Amino acid sequence: MKRFLILALAIAGTTGTVIAQEASAPTRKLTPAEQAQLDIDNKGRATPMTAEQWLARRSGGNQAQRKSWEPTPPPPDPRDFTGLWQIPGGNINLIDEHGEAAPFTPEEAKKTQQLIDAEAHGAVLTDAASQCFPHGVPRLSFAPYPVRFAYVPGKILMLHEVAHNLRLIHLDRKEAPKDTPQSFLGYSVGHWEGNTLVVETTHFNDKTPLDFHSSHGTKLKVTERFEKQKTSQGYTDLLVRITIEDPDHFTKPFTVVRRWPYRSDMEAELGSDGIQEYSCEENNRNVDVSSDGKVIIK
Amino acid sequence: MKFVFKPVLLAVTAAMVATGASAADSDSWSFLPAAQRPAPDTPNFNGKWAMQTPIRALKTADGKEPPLLPAAKAKYTANQAALKANPKSDPIANCWIQGVPRIAYAPYPMLISQDKDRVNLVYETNHTFRIVSLHRPLPKWDDSLDPHWLGYSAGHWAGKTLVIDTIGQNDKTWLDYSGLPHSEKLKVEERYTLDGPDKINGELTLTDPETFSKPWSTRFTLVRQPGYDLKESVCVRDHKM
């Protein structure tokens, strides 16, 4: 759990310091959905984030630090994802690639707003992840911890530090086998389109949220497109485009975009080539809170 | 969510071993990006494996009781009594991460993902994985090293044998289902050698001066599971969802 504390401090710390945006990206006015999310994220913060700081998080955080993050560059092969990628913090939301709110159904919009309001009034939100179940997708793809990609014949593995979440992407199957059970992380099949790894995941249970506030059902289908991409400064991101479809919760498919910076500097940290032990089991913080009447189980 | 640690899976594993198809899925390194491929003659452990015979109580290679020191023997007896009184006395019944070497011979399938720099040992049980570096040494083992459930591992090749050394574990795990204890001074050496395409001979040496009167060794066998895909296995203590 060490990294959790370090990250919490880092996130707290960055609110008071400068997070430079991608040099080439002009600062723009937040859309109403983004402004609403920023207001939620700033709730209770001693030093609120600026719009620039908040936007920068979606493009991988502090570009000024990037030199120290890549003491060795990633392998040049565009289909070689081996190595560590750091999922940036402060981005657990469903703002789409155009800065618009997700196309909620009226019912889901209402439920999402209820949770946002409850949290604003002091409720402690708990979800599958905070009880040590696997995070779900794309909730896992927003969790600010490193992930390592690895290969086995016919499959790609995503080894996430957070709560040792493990994703298995089947390149040797076109679709999930018959009778595949529902699960927290679903069943993923993948294929290459050019140098983009396309991963389609289905067979989710309905026990995980998509972010902190929005839910999904068992019809959820998540399509992720992973692509190595150079930043304007020559560093490497994994560009992650996440398309979410669930007709029971959203009126149409929508796509959120994230960038995961390459972090070869973390490989030498104590631990296992940069993925530290994360024993969620030791710290089930939200499990016992239910007796005080302030908990909402999503 | 029910506990997934149930012996019922043992039967599944045994059935898969019995059908024993051949190993078609790891004949070469072509599945790896070129920069990650080891030397061509490196033993290739990639694929899916499971224990040939589950281990309930760990014995030495010649079938004897481990050489427990008196205090450790008393602890072992107490653990056995506790287990008899309440099966949940076993740390893994409370969903704690299994330590090394117990995870290595857990009675569930596992996956090995190997490239030139590391061996990832991915165990189905409670989605537990170990990333074993082949190019970074073990950390210095002193009081400043924070004990971990799976400790700290580093691997190297001794000829055709993959050798993994593990130090720095906490003392909250058991070595087997019978309650065999260990201390934070436990050092584990795992040696894995391919025996044909579909079998791995595993050899363990346990050194723990606070638990055992001398280092001792034992063996186990992993068998390839070509038709099996790892399932999502989740264990969360005292919780329903």
Ordered by start, the domain boundaries in chain B are 8-224
Q: Identify whether the C-beta of residue A97 lies closer than 8 Å to the C-beta of residue A255.
A: yes
In the prediction, which pLDDT does B27 show? 55
CATH, domain B8-224, list 2.40.128.20, 2.60.40.10, 3.60.15.10, 2.70.98.40: 2.40.128.20
If phi > 0 it is left, if psi is from -120 to 50 it is alpha, else beta; for residue A208 that is beta
Helix ranges, A87-183 (H): 106-120, 139-142
**What's the mean per-residue pLDDT of chain B?**
89
Mean of pLDDT values over B172-189? 98
* Residues written for chain A: 298
Question: Per-residue confidence at B11, pLDDT binned at 50, 70, 90?
Answer: very low
Letter for the amino acid at A191? H
Q: Identify whether the C-beta of residue B48 lies closer than 8 Å to the C-beta of residue B224.
A: yes
- All residues of chain B having their beta carbon less than 8 Å from the beta carbon of residue A268 are 136
Question: Per-residue confidence at A97, pLDDT binned at 50, 70, 90?
Answer: confident
Q: pLDDT at residue A18 above 50?
A: no
Q: Identify whether the C-beta of residue A50 lies closer than 8 Å to the C-beta of residue A35.
A: no
Question: Per-residue confidence at A46, pLDDT binned at 50, 70, 90?
Answer: confident
Q: Identify whether the C-beta of residue A257 lies closer than 8 Å to the C-beta of residue A239.
A: yes
In the prediction, which pLDDT does B26 show? 42
Between residues A203 and A7, the one the model is more confident about:
A203
Say how far apart CA B64 and CA B62 lie, in whole Å: 6
Measured in angstroms, the CA of B131 and the nearest CA of chain A are apart by: 5
In the prediction, which pLDDT does A230 show? 94
Interface contact flag, A272 B241, Cβ < 8 Å: no
Give residue A207's Cα distance to chain centre. Answer: 17
Q: Identify whether the C-beta of residue B202 lies closer than 8 Å to the C-beta of residue B83.
A: no
Q: Nearest CB to B133: which of A168, A207, A273? A: A273
**Tens digits of per-residue pLDDT, A245-296?**
999 999 999 999 999 999 999 998 877 899 999 998 886 554 444 444 344 4
Q: Running DSSP on this structure, what letter comes out for residue A5?
A: H
Between residues A103 and A45, the one the model is more confident about:
A103
In the prediction, which pLDDT does A283 show? 67
| Interface list for A 131-160 with B (CB within 8 A) | 131-134, 148, 150-154, 157, 159
Task: Find the range with the poorest average confidence among A48-62, A65-79, A202-216.
Answer: A48-62
| Interface list for B 20-49 with A (CB within 8 A) | 25-26, 31-36, 46-47
Give residue B115's Cα distance to chain centre. Answer: 19
In the prediction, which pLDDT does A6 show? 40
Question: Per-residue confidence at A10, pLDDT binned at 50, 70, 90?
Answer: very low
Task: Select from A224, A281, A179 the least CA-distant residue to B229.
Answer: A179
In the prediction, which pLDDT does A284 show? 53
In the prediction, which pLDDT does A65 show? 77
Mean of pLDDT values over A164-176? 97
Beta strands in chain A (DSSP E): 83-86, 124-126, 146-152, 155-160, 166-170, 187-193, 196-202, 221-230, 236-245, 254-261, 295-297
Between residues B48 and A65, the one the model is more confident about:
B48
In the prediction, which pLDDT does A298 show? 41
Q: Identify whether the C-beta of residue A204 lies closer than 8 Å to the C-beta of residue A220.
A: yes
Letter for the amino acid at B219? R
Q: Nearest CB to B129: which of A75, A159, A279? A: A159
Q: Identify whether the C-beta of residue B55 lies closer than 8 Å to the C-beta of residue B101.
A: no
**Tens digits of per-residue pLDDT, A217-252?**
999 999 999 999 998 889 999 999 999 999 999 999
**Tens digits of per-residue pLDDT, A113-141?**
999 999 888 888 888 998 899 999 999 99
Q: Identify whether the C-beta of residue A70 lies closer than 8 Å to the C-beta of residue A236.
A: yes
What is the DSSP annotation of A159-200?
EESGGG-EEEEETT-SSPPTTPPPBSS-EEEEEEETTEEEEE
